Amino acid sequence: MKAPAHFAFAPCALLAAALLALAAGASAGAASEPPAAPDFTRADLAGTPIKLTEFRGKVVLLNFWATWCAPCLIEMPRFSQWQRAYGTRGLQVLGVSMDDAREPVLRLARQHPPAYPLIMGDAALAKLYGGVYGLPTSFLIDTQGRIVARYRGEADLKGLEAKILSLLPGADR
C-alpha cells in the first residue's frame, strides 16, 4: 500500500518546513529557532551503536552519502581531514551511507578508512531529516543539538569549514 507523499511525509512536515528555511550553507535566521536534530541510534560498520544525542556538546556534521556518488567521494577525504584537525576541538563527523547494501561501503571503508564513523542509512532515517532526495546531503548540528544548516549537493567546502569553525566550542561568534 503506497501512501501519497503529502500524507506519508506529514510527521516530518514541520522539520521539513524548518529545513527549507535553511538555505544551503546559510545559518538559521535570528527570528526562527533552528529545529532540533531528530535523535536516532544506528550501529556503525563495526557493530558499535551510535546514538546521535551522545554527541551533544559537539558540532556534528551529518553527511548522507553513497559509494556510487562521485561528489560524495570528493567530500569525504576533506571531512576526514577536518575530523582529525578539529575533533579535539569538538567536531564529530558522522557518515550515513544510502547504499542499498553494506558490501560496497565496507570495501570502500577498508580501502580508504575515514577518520569518522559510518552507519547505514535508509528511507526511515532520511525521512526523520525531512527527506534526503539527492546526494550528497549534509546537516550541520550545533552543540545544542540543533540543525543550523543543510547542504544539498556538493557543498562549498571552504564555506562549510568556516561555518564549522564558527560553531566549535570556544569560537568567537
Partner 1 sequence: MIKGFAGFIRLASRPLLIGLLLCSIVHAAHKPAASISAAALVQPAALVAQLRDKSATAPVLLQVGSRALYDQGHIPGSRYAGPAGEPKGLESLHAAVASLAKDTPILIYCGCCPWNRCPNIAAAYDELKARGFGAVKVLYIAQDFGADWIDKGYPTESS
Interface with partner 1 (CB under 8 A): 2-5, 8-9, 66-71, 73-78, 80-81, 98-101, 104, 108, 112, 121-123, 126-127, 131-135, 152-153
Least Å from the CB of residue 74 to partner 1: 4
Least Å from the CB of residue 72 to partner 1: 8
Nearer to partner 1, 98 or 145 (CB): 98
What's the rounded Cα separation, in Å, for the pair 56 and 75?
24
Kindly report the backbone phi and psi dihedral angles of residue 113, in degrees, each rounded to the nearest multiple of 5, phi listed first: -60, 120
Nearer to partner 1, 142 or 155 (CB): 155
Region for residue 127 given its phi and psi (left: phi exceeds 0; alpha: psi -120 to 50; beta: otherwise): alpha
Residues 6 or more apart from 111 whose CB is under 8 A from it?
Answer: none
Question: Are 103 and 120 within 8 A, CB to CB?
Answer: no
Least Å from the CB of residue 8 to partner 1: 4
Nearer to partner 1, 17 or 54 (CB): 17
Q: Which three cell numbers stand for residue 113?
A: 578508512
What's the rounded Cα separation, in Å, for the pair 113 and 128?
27
Least Å from the CB of residue 103 to partner 1: 10
Nearer to partner 1, 135 or 149 (CB): 135
